[in-house]
Structure 1
């Protein structure tokens, strides 16, 4: 599986269970869900600015047609089919015409409102696999492809540990100069060290392609210190993959806690 940068990320629910995914449709605006599922996703925008969520499904049509607009203070409910696997991300600074063509400053997916592929890094990812091993849902926040905005996942109901997964801190404010993505004189995103330097020790490739040979770096540690429950590098599984059974999920852009 890949994202806008064409990179398969090891070590998350996406990597472990991505082959299980099937597509679904959304309840966005006046479009009704056509699947019956025990699980729902509610995406809410607590930012002071508009967010354009994107979605990518491992196998099948994407939820929410791949992307839609979410005004400040608004929310949309998506209904996945059982066994769905995929990811969400927030796009910022978008401008689309009436045909859905345009561009986003961060998280762009080929210049379209309705994404048919992943978002271009750097971008904060929200990843899920539903009804995976032992019928558990697996979910995580990933900064492996960098950071563009604060995001969080909260399980509503369900059984098991059902931990909160989030990156609440604004990493753009303390992003090292060598990782900064700039637009109009402002830092709009923070690149991963892999994207910035393309070196095996940062990308967990080649001789560094196993958990034993790919260790945290000063850059991934900066991400981890700011967002302890998020993936900071490819093999950051121990503190970053969350599980729950039978829950609904609240996905928040710009969470406050």
Structure 2
């Protein structure tokens, strides 16, 4: 009995510690500082790739930071997407940033990915499974910065209305909120992205658990 339980626990451990790889590529004509929680951060020049290994059964996100400057200890500041002034991110970024969010093998042996503009926009992004046999790619490929309403314009990006106005109808703090003219603006540019905290309209991309993915900035 004890021996059988030991084999069961070992099998359970390995079943829940499989690593999923996100290949994060910078296709932008400028430097970005990729960020991932979990995962940390990495400077990426044009056409460089960073591989992020994430444990199974994890919730997280990946985004690009721009306009960054870090010292030799990894401390500094980014114009967009900054994460507590650290090169190796430990927490989610500050608005604005375009996020790829994921839930790995949390429900029914499936992964779910989406693009979020809830924290605004800084660079276009695309995420796709590497196998080609599941789900479909998700993306926000339009450079929203070119069209950003003047009320949301900030250096390097297009901020979200909650961060700018601090009002409940944008932040959804009470749990009661709906689309606004600003969320509709973001949706008009990227219809499959989430655009406000209680948004439930976009489709999720789903794949079988164990799939690897590629995330591309400026696809």
* TM-score band, normalised by shorter chain: 0.7 to 0.9
**2:7 paired residue number:** none
Structure 2 counterparts to residues 75-224 of structure 1, below 5 A: 75-157=49-131, 159-160=133-134, 162-182=135-155, 188-206=156-174, 209-210=175-176, 214-224=177-187
The one-character-per-residue Cα deviations of 1:176-232 (angstroms, maximum 9, x if unpaired) are 1111103xxxxx1111111111112112232xx14xxx2211110110110111111
- The structure with the largest strand share of the pair is 2
For 1:251, the equivalent position in structure 2 comes to 215
In structure 2, the residue matched to 1:237 is 200
Distance in 2 of aligned mates of 1:244 and 1:238:
19
CA displacement at 1:46 relative to structure 2: 0.2
For the 8 Å contact 1:158–1:248, the answer to whether it is kept is: no
The alignment partner of 2:108 has SS state of: helix
Q: Contact 1:159 / 1:247 at 8 angstroms: preserved in 2?
A: no
Correspondence for 1:15: none
Find the counterpart in structure 2 of residue 71 from structure 1.
45
Whether the aligned pair in 1 keeps the contact of 2:68 and 2:77 (CA below 8 Å) is: yes
Unmatched runs of 5 consecutive residues or more in structure 1? 1-34, 57-61, 183-187
8 A Cα contact 2:62 2:100, kept in partner: yes
Aligned residue-pair number: 202
* CA-CA distance at 1:36 after TM superposition: 4.6
Is the Cα–Cα contact under 8 Å of residues 101 and 113 in structure 1 kept in the other structure? yes
SS of residue in 1 equivalent to 2:188: helix
Question: What SS does structure 2 have at the residue aligned with 1:196?
Answer: helix
Query: What is the DSSP-based 3-state SS (H/G/I as helix, E as strand, rest coil) of the residue aligned with 1:126?
Result: strand
- The two structures have a TM-score, normalised by structure 2, of 0.86
Separation in structure 1 between the aligned mates of residue 200 and residue 110 of structure 2, nearest angstrom:
16
Runs of 4+ off more than 6 Å = none
Q: Pick from 174, 181, 188: which aligns with 1:225?
A: 188
Deviations 1:92-117 (CA, angstroms, capped at 9, x unpaired):
11111211121111111122211122
* 1:47 matched to 2:47: no
Alpha-carbon distance in structure 1 between the residues aligned to 2:194 and 2:50: 26
Report the structure number with the largest CA radius of gyration: 2
* Residue 172 (structure 1) shift: 0.7
The TM-score normalised by the length of structure 1 is 0.74
